[in-house]
């Protein structure tokens, strides 16, 4: 079933076949919006072997290790360059490390991103964490695998040099659109038979494969007529936790429960998303629509109100000053002859 209301742009590029000089490509991070923002920090602890008890949030092992790591994470960021913007860190899960006996820890850290703060992005948080853990290897009594440290699915594209050959190509790009009344849902799940690739090309291919399977699932579901599209924006370790948003047309039949039910009904044998991905820990939450103004807009409004008050005060002072000056330019005097102006004062004649 085709996706609803897409915007299709056809781009034609005409060039001649040439060999170019080696080029270097890198990725850059987008500037974050203002306000408290969540970042997901993942790392592997090499001196803590994973066990079934670490999967149980009510177990003593889970509780003790979570308490210790929470305390250590908060200590790292509270004593870092981000201390003025740091709010809190908390462990959300312990996962087995693929092909290794170690424990992969997933934590959520919240930072306040304001108008005057230095740009806070995944790379900066990762660098601060590495600096605060003896180059990414020691967190209190825990030893870490530096190569496993990951923030919000951060996988930098290393500079690559290659010679390129250009030819005449026609590319059709389909960009889904979101209408103001559409409903969005965060669809959360864990793919436990795979892991996040370290190679950038494989990482993007993995995102594409998961996204395609999600779109097929909902297109063929009971909500297919109202379904628009799903988009995967990133992958987190443990084993793979996709960051995914799915969008539907506004309809009473579309709720968080119905979206979750459609997902459960669409996975084969209650386990497989498509032919390859084994999934668990499925959850669906509606993406809240907020009309809150960003911090910079609030600051501008406050400045505008303050400026208006200052101008009003100056106008009042100017009006009072003019009235006093005008009153002093005429010396009105009462006498037996009535009220008259000073330049007509006849008392000087007597």
| pLDDT block averages, 10 residues each, the chain of length 350 | 44 41 40 65 92 89 93 93 87 86 88 68 89 93 92 46 40 55 87 84 90 93 91 81 89 92 87 88 79 66 90 88 69 54 54
| Per CATH, domain 31-151 is 3.40.50.720 | no
Burial status of residue 18 (CB atoms within 10 A of its CB: 0-12, 13-18, 19 or more): exposed
CA angle 195, 197, 200 (to 5 degrees): 160
Task: Confirm whether 31-151 and 181-286 share one CATH topology.
Answer: yes
Q: Tokens standing for 2?
A: 């085709």
Q: Tokens standing for 84?
A: 């003025």
Ramachandran sector of residue 296 (left: φ over 0; alpha: ψ -120 to 50; beta: rest): alpha
Which pLDDT does position 222 carry in this prediction?
92
Distance (Å, rounded) from C-alpha 186 to C-alpha 246?
Answer: 7
Which pLDDT does position 34 carry in this prediction?
56
Which helix (DSSP H) or strand (DSSP E) does residue 263 occupy? Answer: helix 256-266
Domain limits, the chain: 31-151, 181-286
Distance (Å, rounded) from C-alpha 73 to C-alpha 149?
Answer: 13
- What is the reported pTM? 0.43
Distance (Å, rounded) from C-alpha 319 to C-alpha 327?
Answer: 12
Question: In the CATH hierarchy, which fold is given to the domain comprising 181-286?
Answer: Alpha-Beta Plaits (3.30.70)
For helices 256-266 and 200-219, angle between their N-to-C axes, nearest 10 degrees: 100
Which pLDDT does position 39 carry in this prediction?
83
Which helix (DSSP H) or strand (DSSP E) does residue 264 occupy? Answer: helix 256-266
Q: What is the DSSP string of 169-215?
A: EEEEEEEE---TT-EEEEEEEEETT----SSHHHHHHHHHHHHHHHH
């Amino acid at each position: 079933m085709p996706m609803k209301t897409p915007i299709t742009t056809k781009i034609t590029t005409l060039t001649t076949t040439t060999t170019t000089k080696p080029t270097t490509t890198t990725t850059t991070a987008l500037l974050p919006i203002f306000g408290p923002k969540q970042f997901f920090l993942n790392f592997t602890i090499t001196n803590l072997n994973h066990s079934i008890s670490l999967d149980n949030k009510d177990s003593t092992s889970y509780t003790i290790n979570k308490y210790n790591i929470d305390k250590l994470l908060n200590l790292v960021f509270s004593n870092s360059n981000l201390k003025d913007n740091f709010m809190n860190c908390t462990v959300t899960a312990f996962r087995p490390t693929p092909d290794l006996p170690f424990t992969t820890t997933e934590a959520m850290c919240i930072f306040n991103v304001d108008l005057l703060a230095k740009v806070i992005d995944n790379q900066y948080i990762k660098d601060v964490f590495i600096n605060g853990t003896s180059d990414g290897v020691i967190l209190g009594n825990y030893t870490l695998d530096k190569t496993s440290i990951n923030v919000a699915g951060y996988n930098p594209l290393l500079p690559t040099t290659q010679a390129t050959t250009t030819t005449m190509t026609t590319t059709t790009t389909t960009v889904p659109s979101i209408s103001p009344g559409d409903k969005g849902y965060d669809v959360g799940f864990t793919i436990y038979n795979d892991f996040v690739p370290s190679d950038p090309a494989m990482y993007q291919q993995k995102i594409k494969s998961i996204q395609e399977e999600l779109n097929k699932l909902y297109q063929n579901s009971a909500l297919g007529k109202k379904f628009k599209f799903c988009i995967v924006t990133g992958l987190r370790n443990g084993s793979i936790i996709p960051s995914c948003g799915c969008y539907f047309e506004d309809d009473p039949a579309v709720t968080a429960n119905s979206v979750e039910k459609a997902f459960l009904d669409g996975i084969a044998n209650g386990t497989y998303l498509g032919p390859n991905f084994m999934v668990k820990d499925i959850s669906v939450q509606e993406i809240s629509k907020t009309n809150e103004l960003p911090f910079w807009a609030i600051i501008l409004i406050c400045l505008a109100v303050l400026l208006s008050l200052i101008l009003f005060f100056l106008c009042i002072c100017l009006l009072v000053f003019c009235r006093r000056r005008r009153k002093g330019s005429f010396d009105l005097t009462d006498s037996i002859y009535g009220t008259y102006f000073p330049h007509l004062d006849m008392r000087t004649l007597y």
